[in-house]
Structure 1
Amino acid sequence: MYPTEQGASGMNRTAWLICAIAAIGFAFDIYELLMLPLIIKPAIAALSGPLVDALVAGGMDRARAGALWAPGGDEYVRWARTLFFVPALAGGVFGLLGGYLTDLLGRRRVLTFSILLYAFAACAAGFATSLPQLLFFRCLVFIGVCVEFVAAVAWLAELFTEPKQREKVLGYTQAFSSFGGLLVAGANILAAKWALDLPAIHGGHEAWRYTLISGVFPALPLILIRPFLPESPVWQKKREAGTLKRPSLAALFAPDLRRTTILTTLVFASSYGIAFGAIQQLPQIIGAQRIGTPAETGHAAVLAVAKEQGRAALDAAKAGKQPEAAAQRAMRQAAGNASD
């Protein structure tokens, strides 16, 4: 049963199911992308530890070696830029490939596997033991997100054939992207608050790892709902008729489409570049300003959670619930869980 079978303007159960899974997909697209500003500082701090030790073993003063990897240091800036630009470029390149894959394999299939790809890549990133590993999994996340976006838009546009209904469906489901930013911010705060109560990863309870792992959530409803999702009838008819054609970028620059293509590309590139770029680069902007207090850095809430964890650890030690040494480790862990 297709979403418009009950009438051009009606919404049956299948239609609402389609909208729900699309909204979840769009929300978690932004959820996955906006993790980086939240986790980049503690992640680099944690994963650069062995590199700092190697520099010290090679004869460099520890203070100097640490300064290279501190926010604003040369190595920190290099890796922060790498983690920002390389995954974005990978996503952009493979996003173009996504259009080809949706024509070859079908909208629903590519949509499903792209969501599974970025969900499990985000989860795997939480277990990274080095910066190259984190970079690799972040590239997979961006690839999955960009391919999913292409597949989802094509899927919705072809399932909802009535123009006004199609516009509403595309608009309302993509509006959930903004909700993804709120979700990931909340997830990061919860991860910082409850990190000490969660299972240890590589011997520690670092909040940034749990924030990354939370990216697996969109895969859970998808696994259950996927069998009930219909394929695009437009794609199916073309496949059965043998009229599927390999997409061509050159066709976008044909005389009748050239102006529209250029203007649309400029508008979208500017809007995404300004909004997405500013949000992603905020930790570097703040770090470069060398602002001193938690309130000025805008991380007061997370720091307050870390302090609360430290106080709880000391209280537990005083009550005899855990050794004092463990309490001190918990305090250090809590400080590391503050995304400053």
Structure 2
Amino acid sequence: MPETKRLTSVQWLVCIIAAIGFAFDIYELLMLPLVARNALMELGGISPGTPEFARWFGLLFYVPAVCGGIFGLLGGYLTDRFGRRRVLTWSILLYATSAFMSGFSTSLWMLLFFRTTTFIGVCVEFVAAVAWLAELFDDPVQREKVLGYTQAFSSFGGLLVAFANGVIARHATGFPALQIPEFLQSVWGTIEPIGQHADWRYTMMSGILPAIPLIVIRPFLPESPKWSAKKAAGTLQRPSIAELFSPKLKRTTIVTTLMFACSYGVAFGALQQLPQILPGLDTVQARMQAAGEGKPELQAKIAAGKSRQVITANYTKSQELGGLFGRFALALLVVHFVSRRHLLRFFLIPGLIILPLVFYGYYLGHESVFWTGDLSWIPGFHNVSVSLLGIGIFLAGFCTVAVFSFWGNYLPHVFPVHLRGTGESFAANIGGRMLGTPFAYVTQVIATLGFVPGATPAAKTAIVAAGVAFTLIACNLLLSCLLPEPGANSIDEMESV
């Protein structure tokens, strides 16, 4: 095997922008489960565990997912039509700006609008970045490593939003008060005093960060050489959604779309329910009670809420650390597994066992804490504990999140250049965003039904999450039997399809 060349400075720039994009994709997606509870309570006066809470919780996930899927599919077409770099740049600017504006929402409908535009940008960005990276590197080993390691930054995004939310929850009262400019108040509305220092608003606004390095680096970024060469030669075929269902590609399109839906369904129907599940743990209840003890009713409620938010952020860090290790494990293993099916099953089979057991533990509501300490000298690690369910959610994140990196490595191998963005977009957006993400709503709705076991909304959500995880991972295992096996040089071979 020839020696792998070192990355050029331009390739490093592309990798950096793609990694930032991947990180903030997940940053934005995982932000809503952390802040939805507080946002719904402030903007709509809605209490958790009620049908109205489940309805709006579902709307905030489902409407952006559907719109993101539709526009993401259009973005895949535009990526194939006008180039990877241009579409990626505008998609990042769209979701960064929308995320910032969502922090100034004065109603649930306004929050829903900005979450939708944020989601559209995220859906388009993933497809453009994967196609761009896959076509930038000719060395197959180098290409697989770059795809694997840049996608690992998605989990850094998950960790970052957990850190940011935890820090903001502790210091929000010291931040500048958020107010709508007076000349816009007649149209936009006003932010009530209780919400001017709301931690969920600052957390959402932090999504503008990826736009800053993009604006600086954008002039130095090249277009995909394979796409550019075909465009210049006049041999670039027009992308077509109908072609995805041609005899050569129909099986690939259908199977990858369904499996993407199951992968996202596990993440949103189980893992991302953690903020709604944690209040049912005995240790969390004790800490919330201690935080509000001896204070007036309103102050006690605020203190308890902040305590719960910090605990949620810490458990989310454990989950995302697991996901980070899972993504790096995938990046290390991808060049050693000849069979892509076997590589995928390496994570699916343990997940089929681990996830239902972990969420059943949350359903029981008892946490076994092994160690507690203050590691505040490490940024973001304040008042840390090591517990049984904390380790469990780490392992659950490891098995679940690695699968997302698998798809980023796999999809470029099974679609030709002129369909690469469209094909990836169809699987990721129609399957993952439109069909998979709404499992966040499915779990919440099932958890409100009377026959579901559990004495509290948290316990009901946990047991439903266990069932959803088991069912969807089992479906993915079965569907993996139909997953096409690409060849070693399939990215180059697919150019002639």
Question: How would you bin the TM-score normalised by the shorter chain?
Answer: 0.7 to 0.9
> Does the 8 Å contact 2:99/2:115 carry over to 1?
yes
Matched, 1:102 2:94: no
Displacement of 1:244 in angstroms is 3.5
1:239 partnered with 2:216: no
**What residue is the counterpart of 1:29 in the other structure?**
25
8 Å CA contact 2:84, 2:128 repeated in 1: yes
Q: In structure 2, how many angstroms separate the alpha carbons of the residues matched to 1:268 and 1:22?
A: 21
Aligned length: 292
Aligned partner (choices 11, 35, 46) of residue 7 of structure 2 = 11
Distance 1:171 1:145 in 2: 19
Q: Return the alpha-carbon distance in structure 1 between the equivalents of residues 50 and 89 of structure 2.
A: 41
Q: Which runs of 4+ in 1 moved over 6 A?
A: 327-332
Say which of 26, 40, 45 aligns to 1:44.
40
What is the aligned partner in structure 1 of residue 452 from structure 2?
A: none
Task: Return the offset for 1:335.
Answer: 5.1
Is the CA contact 2:27–2:158 (under 8 Å) kept in the aligned structure 1? yes
User: 1:114: how far off?
Assistant: 0.5
Q: Percent identity?
A: 61
2:85 maps to amino acid? R
Q: Deviations over 1:279-313 (max 9, x none)?
A: 333344x28xx73756259xx5xx59x949x99xx
Q: Distance in 2 between matches of 1:76 and 1:102?
A: 37
1:291–1:10 Cα change, 3 Å: closer
Is the CA contact (8 Å cut-off) linking 1:121 and 1:141 kept in structure 2?
A: yes
- In 1, the alpha carbon distance for the partners of 2:93 and 2:120 equals 11
Q: After superposition, what is the alpha-carbon deviation per residue over 1:38-78, rounded to whole angstroms, capped at 9, x for unaligned?
A: 101110011014xxxxxxxxxxxxxxxxxxx2101122111
> Which position in structure 2 is the counterpart of 1:295?
284
Task: Report the TM-score, using the length of structure 2 for normalisation.
Answer: 0.54
Shift of 1:262: 2.7
| Structure 2 residue 53 is matched with structure 1 residue 76 | yes
Structure 2 gap ranges (5+):
179-190, 313-497
Q: Distance in 2 between matches of 1:188 and 1:95?
A: 27
- Distance in 1, Cα, partners of 2:281 & 2:221: 52
Q: Does the 8 A contact of 2:176 with 2:197 survive in 1?
A: yes
Gaps of 5+ in 1: 1-6, 50-68, 315-326
In the aligned structure 1, how far is the partner of 2:269 from the partner of 2:234? Answer: 42
- Tell me how far apart the structure 2 counterparts of residues 333 and 209 of structure 1 sit (CA, whole Å): 16
In the other structure, the counterpart of 1:248 is: 240
Q: CA deviation at 1:143?
A: 0.6
Deviation at 1:277, TM superposition (A): 2.8
- TM-score, L = length of structure 1: 0.78
Aligned to 1:52: none
Distance 1:140 1:9, change over 3 A: same
- In structure 2, the partner of 1:53 is none
Q: Which deviates further from its counterpart, 182-191 or 91-100?
A: 91-100
RMSD: 2.8
Structure 1 residues 87 and 125 mapped into 2: Cα distance closer, same or farther (>3 Å)?
Answer: same
**Structure 2 residue 67 is matched with structure 1 residue 90:** yes
Alignment of 1:111-190 (within 5 A): 111-190=88-167
- The separation in 2 between residues aligned to 1:136 and 1:14, in whole angstroms, is 36
Query: Conserved in 2, the CA contact under 8 Å of 1:41 and 1:71?
Result: yes
User: Which residue identity lines up with residue 78 of structure 1 in the other structure?
Assistant: R
Q: Which residue of 1 aligns with 2:398?
A: none
Is it true that 1:281 corresponds to 2:277 in the alignment?
A: no
- Contact in 2 for aligned 1:35/1:184 (Cα 8 Å): yes
Letter of the 1:110 partner, please give it.
Answer: V
